[in-house]
Amino acid sequence: MSTKTTKPQLSWAVYDWANSAFSTTVMAGFFPLFFAKYWSAGLEDVTRTYYLGLGNSLASFLIMVLAPILGAVADSGGIHKRLLVGFAMLGILATTSFFFVAEGMWQVALIVYVVAIIGFSGANVFYDALLPILAPKSKHHSLSALGFSLGYLGGGLLFLINVVMTLKPGWFGLSDAAQAVRWSFLSVGVWWFVFTIPLIFHIKDKPGSANNNITVSSSLKELGDTIKRVFSDRNVAMFLVAYWFYIDGVATIIRMAVDYGISIGLPSNSLITALLIVQFIGFPSTLFFGRFGAKHGAKLGLWVALSAYVVATFAASFMQTSMHFYLLAVVLGLVQGGVQSLSRSLFSHLIPQDRSGEYFGFLNMLGKSAAVLGPILVGFVGAQTGSPRIGIVSILILFVIGMTILTFVKEPNHESAISK
């Protein structure tokens, strides 16, 4: 069988390069920063964090509700690509709309942000579902890795350009950093759209068996059958529950880290530099965790990575300087990709191979709906205690619950020390 990457497969991987600009420049970087300094200027820190957390949680909750239903519709009708493009265009339009939101309009900015996340996360559900359609099983790992690596590189590259724009706006003919950030949002929308074009032209939907008979009730029935199959296996169910908790913690840190740094008084430039550190350390460290998991087991590798998250989250509550934030960024950059990749590879060992697409669709739904509990937990605890430091520590609850449940998951072909 040929190992050559086809044009549709390469176009699929390039979409990760396209949409990762949103997760880096917008979601992790400039939106929380600009929301604090520009759109919500005048709000108290704990109030701003509460509303930002509420917005993140609302978007994640809506995706959690919609994704499995739309996923069943896509499977029945063979419209994965059309739904992907539709949600992507929603995200692109919302992202470019940030350019027009004026100073002080934090309510409008938050609504647009929720819509953008729905577009981004919704498109990713169908993006992941295209993998088993475009490639044979023997190529799933290599093609998935290609997309993952392009996402790190593409997202990091545009983010670096956007950071330079804000630090040196005069180089780009811009008046100040605020204008540079607004143009950065616009650049993400353009980048996302341009690099989605190959997918639009080179990938075709696989015809579904019930294209003209798709109903909400039939989709819900199919979803119900999937849930019954997934949770009939205690080991699979245990992993999914553990995954939902700890990946919620990971996603919360990604979305809330910059806002936390602002709340404790760190300079904006330091926060952006830290995000770049995470982005560029993430790629090689993920490759390391892949090798570690192959040799010692994915479950042990996950425990190592999640333990680093626990230590880093606790240490973050004592953070005082930019150097502390850089050290935190290094730690998170070393383990972030490891958690994502090892979760996927461990799950692949737990499920029946003849239903891998169905099971992975369910896992991806959980992953894309992450950050429901975490942001609202951080915002609520911070608001109740009046301390963003206590708010960030509350994320430990999610990691501890997830890691505890993970210990009961049995990994085939590996005896993990954490289970003894």
33-63: pLDDT as tens digits: 888 878 887 777 778 878 887 887 788 788 7
DSSP assignment, residue 420?
A: -
Who has greater pLDDT, 215 or 305? 305
Provide the pLDDT for residue 420.
Answer: 42
| Mean pLDDT (whole number) for 149-169 | 89
Provide the pLDDT for residue 224.
Answer: 76
pTM of the model: 0.75
pLDDT of residue 122 exceeding 70, the answer is yes
Helices 216-231 and 234-263, packing angle to 10 deg: 100
Who has greater pLDDT, 8 or 418? 8
In CATH, what is the architecture of 7-419? Up-down Bundle (1.20)
Segment among 116-120, 276-280, 336-340, 364-368 with least mean pLDDT:
364-368
User: Taking the C-alpha atoms of 236, 117, 282 and 83 in order, what is their torsion angle to the nearest 10 degrees?
Assistant: 70
104-115: pLDDT as tens digits: 788 899 999 999
Decide: 150 and 91 in contact? Cβ < 8 Å.
Answer: no
Provide the pLDDT for residue 145.
Answer: 64
b/e per residue 367-403 (b: at least 16 CB within 10 A): bbbbbbbbbbbbbbbbbeeebbeebbbbbeebbebbb
Provide the pLDDT for residue 210.
Answer: 45
What is the Cα–Cα distance from 154 to 159, expressed in whole angstroms? 8
Provide the pLDDT for residue 358.
Answer: 65
Q: What are the extents of the domains in the chain?
A: 7-419
Provide the pLDDT for residue 207.
Answer: 63
Decide: 169 and 32 in contact? Cβ < 8 Å.
Answer: no
361-383: pLDDT as tens digits: 677 677 756 667 887 888 788 88
Decide: 285 and 333 in contact? Cβ < 8 Å.
Answer: yes
Residue of 61, 70, 18, 56 whose CA lies nearest to 257: 56
Element at 407 (helix H, strand E): none
Provide the pLDDT for residue 211.
Answer: 47
What is the Cα–Cα distance from 134 to 9, expressed in whole angstroms? 6
Query: Token digits for 101?
Result: 């939101």
Identify residue 393 by its one-letter amino acid code.
V
| Mean pLDDT (whole number) for 215-241 | 78
Query: Token digits for 371?
Result: 């950050």
